[in-house]
Structure 1
Amino acid sequence: MSWRFVSLPPQDGYHMVTSFVSVAEYVSRGGKDTFLVFSVKEPFVNVGVHQEVWLEVDLDYTLKNNIPVVRRDLGGGTVVITQGEHDYFIVVRGENAPSDPKTLYERFLTPVVDVLKDYGLNATLRDQDIVVNGKKISGNGAMTHGKAVVIAGNILMRADTRLMSKCIKVPSEKFRDKIAKDMSEWITSLERELGYVPPREELDKKLKESFESHLNIKFEESTLTPEEIETWEKLASEKRNEEWIYYKDRRHPELKTERCVKISSSVAVCHLDYKARKLIRITAKFVEGKIDEVSISGDFFVMSPKGFLETLEDRLRGVTPSRVHEIIDSTFLEVKPIIFGFSAEDLKKAFQEILNKPEVQEVLG
């Protein structure tokens, strides 16, 4: 089977997060499965599609230092993308990709694991990440777009944990120091493990050989088609729009709290972070015994369908707490979402925790 191998020059953040969407549209129209590689021109903060920017990013620091905040179409957590990583995007037709996320990651990330092993590193796949001696060296995610499946990932060549910690929102500067220390303990890089940074051309050669061997394919060196480039430019321009970057924040303009607050005898706003396989963040406003508004965010991956969380949030508005589990179950049953990071049971447990908060109980009576 023949695949395209496309190597692009360094890109800005808006072009990085739209490259694979453009290629996915090409693949959906019957184009060849594609392996895309490149790096970035300058650092930027990359926010997951299901996250609220104000909860994740230190906007004072990023604005002061002209570091763009870019929202991608892919789930997962907020990451700071720097010139120190080698980015790849695997875009395949849906029939060539397992529907189960675990099997999908195993098939398409095992070749990357083997490239790292070829450098003598103790690399293993852990969920959708690749770790070396327990430290993350490669973060990955997946999504569907049209008739295509996208696996997006990177190999950390150099890790600037200081910059990463400064861009992430933290409760205090003391906590930021702890975050920077923690990052250096659970993130690693080729430079740290090998003592040097291999040339990108060498990495590409090893990636090509590993994927060809594991997937029984043959790469052909290629470029993007004129149609892909046209679509790409259009999408990159759209991603600069603040309506998109802050869409999750603007969808819930009144739900700006990181704790539980009783506003009056009949109104409370409450926030909860719940750790399933991935982090679920729920912020809800309760008015006169009902859910007035709710936001569900986090670093999980909703592979399909698009807009699932918004549908669920809308269905939970105006309901009494006794119906929350029923609404979650019926929505999951009807829509049948493919999610990596949490289940319907996890979400029900998270909601139960927020409903049990004293501030909420006082309002619900």
Structure 2
Amino acid sequence: MERWRLIDLGSPEPLVAQTFYEAAAEAVHRGEAPNTLIMLQPGSAYVCLGYHQDLEKEIDLDFCREKELPIIRRSQGGGATYLDGDQVFYQIVAKNSPAVPRNVEEMFERLLAVTVETYRMLDVEAEFKPLNDVVVGGRKISGNGAGMHESASILVGNVILDLDYGMMARVLRVPDEKFRDKMAKSMRDWVSTLRRELGHPPPAETVKQKYVEAFQELLGVELVREKPTEEEWRIFNEVVKPMHTSREWLHMETSPAHRREGRAVKIAGDVKVVEADHKARKLIRVRAEVKGDEILGIQIRGDFFVLPKEAIATLEWMLSGVKLEEGTVSETVKRFYKDTDTQTPGLKPQDYVNAVMKIKGLI
């Protein structure tokens, strides 16, 4: 039986809660630590932004400052959300494990079976819904994301004890308060919690215990309780924390596609800056600078997942200089997939082609 490490971080401050697993992933990648399951509850509330999202477009920054809510951009894709101690996090980091498929869609299905079983052990009839949801009665009851760090596969998610629907809606940037009220109602209609299903949430320690039992049984591994190593804390303090607390990381102000020496952006004549949204299974938001029908530079954002996450910058670079012709764009996107072996769970190459081509209809 494969032996894994179990780390219980208790209730750490938000940055540790959200990002410490990246230090563990580096240690696992190096071969300095075994495959690892981390469990915790956030020690206080914060707002979490998906890797590919626009901070200013997704989050009500003034409200978060007023309430002193930290904002943390995670290293996985997906959408913005409000997180607090009413959720139990599981963070799975593995390398070369038969329990964890390398294909991300298969990984979601295999590992979220543990989440489903945990809810069922708590008398909630949950089920897996592709791509990455766990639902009960059609309502989402767990949020999950996946990524890669070098050779280490990562899956992160939560068991939701309770949820402040009003705060979930309040931290997001919306057109007006009427829209916010509608969004909060929609969340109540389509997102559930253990409190809602059972009348009261079980203790967090009970949830952790059930999750560990399901993890060992379904994945065929033995979990051994350990503490993080000194080297992992060093990686966190010297690498992970400085990156996640930097303005460059949080705002991602400059796309790699635009970091070319000597480029000056001037909007005049037939030069335009265009933005278009395309909703496939995930949102793809494209912002481009075009001259005539040529893409001068492009940013691709949204609540999607890309593995590895940095690959989207390569696609942006490959599309720069390309003509806005569907055949040419399609050929470029297909070459990107072939050359980089990138995974985009839930999205197909044609989805990105359709998103880019929406620009043409606006110029």
Q: What TM-score do you get using the length of structure 1 for normalisation?
A: 0.90
For residues 78-97 of structure 1, the aligned pairs below 5 Å read 78-96=80-98, 97=100
| 1:52-201 → structure 2 map (5 Å cutoff) | 52-96=54-98, 97-126=100-129, 127-201=131-205
What's the counterpart of residue 342 of structure 1? 347
Task: Tell me how far apart the structure 2 counterparts of residues 311 and 253 of structure 1 sit (CA, whole Å).
Answer: 8
1:38 aligns with 2:8: no
Calculate the aligned-residue CA RMSD, in Å. 1.8
The question of whether the paired residues in 2 share the 8 Å contact of 1:15 and 1:233 is answered with: no
2: distance between equivalents of 1:302 and 1:222? 31
Matched position secondary structure for 2:254: helix
Task: Give the match for residue 14 of structure 1.
Answer: 15
Is the partner of 2:52 in helix, strand or coil? coil
Q: Is the 8 A contact 1:14 1:237 kept in 2?
A: no
Structure 1 residue 142: deviation in Å?
Answer: 0.9
Task: Give, in angstroms, the shift of residue 264 of structure 1.
Answer: 5.8
Are the equivalent residues in 1 in contact too, given 2:257–2:297 (CA < 8 A)? no
> Residue 300 of structure 2 corresponds to which residue in structure 1?
296
2:113 and 2:257 map into 1 onto residues whose CA distance is 42
Q: For the residues of structure 1 that align with 2:206 and 2:171, how far apart are their CA atoms?
A: 31
Q: State the SS of the aligned residue for 1:332.
A: helix
Contact 2:257 / 2:298 at 8 angstroms: preserved in 1? no
- Structure 2: which 5+ residue stretches go unaligned? 259-266
Q: Which residue of 2 aligns with 1:275?
A: 279
Per-residue deviation, 1:130:
0.7
Tell me which residue corresponds to 2:249. 244
Report if the CA contact (8 A) 1:279-1:341 is conserved.
Answer: no
1:226 and 2:233 are equivalent in the alignment: no
**2:162 aligns to what SS in structure 1?**
coil
Unaligned runs of 5+ in 1: 255-262, 361-365
1:50 partner letter: H
In structure 1, distance between residues paired with 2:93 and 2:166: 32
For residues 183 and 43 of structure 1, what CA distance do their matches in structure 2 show?
18
Counterpart check, 1:23 vs 2:24 = yes
Q: Deviations over 1:337-359 (max 9, x none)?
A: 111131111111222222123xx
CA contact (8 A) 1:141 1:152 kept: yes
Alpha-carbon spacing, 1:95–1:2, altered in 2? closer, same or farther (3 Å)? closer
Q: Deviations over 1:271-299 (max 9, x none)?
A: 22212221111112222332222110111
Deviation, 1:92, is 1.1
AA in 2 matched with 1:311: T
- Call closer, same or farther: CA 1:36–1:122 in 2, change over 3 Å: same
Contact 1:62–1:167, Cα closer than 8 Å, also in 2: yes
User: Partner letter of residue 344 of structure 1?
Assistant: P
AA aligned opposite 1:80: Y
SS across alignment from 1:321 = coil
What is the CA deviation profile of residues 199-254 of structure 1, one whole-angstrom value per residue up to 9, with x for unaligned ones? 1111111111111111111111111111111112221233111111111x333999
Q: Any runs of at least 4 consecutive aligned residues in structure 1 with deviations exceeding 4 A, and if so which? A: none
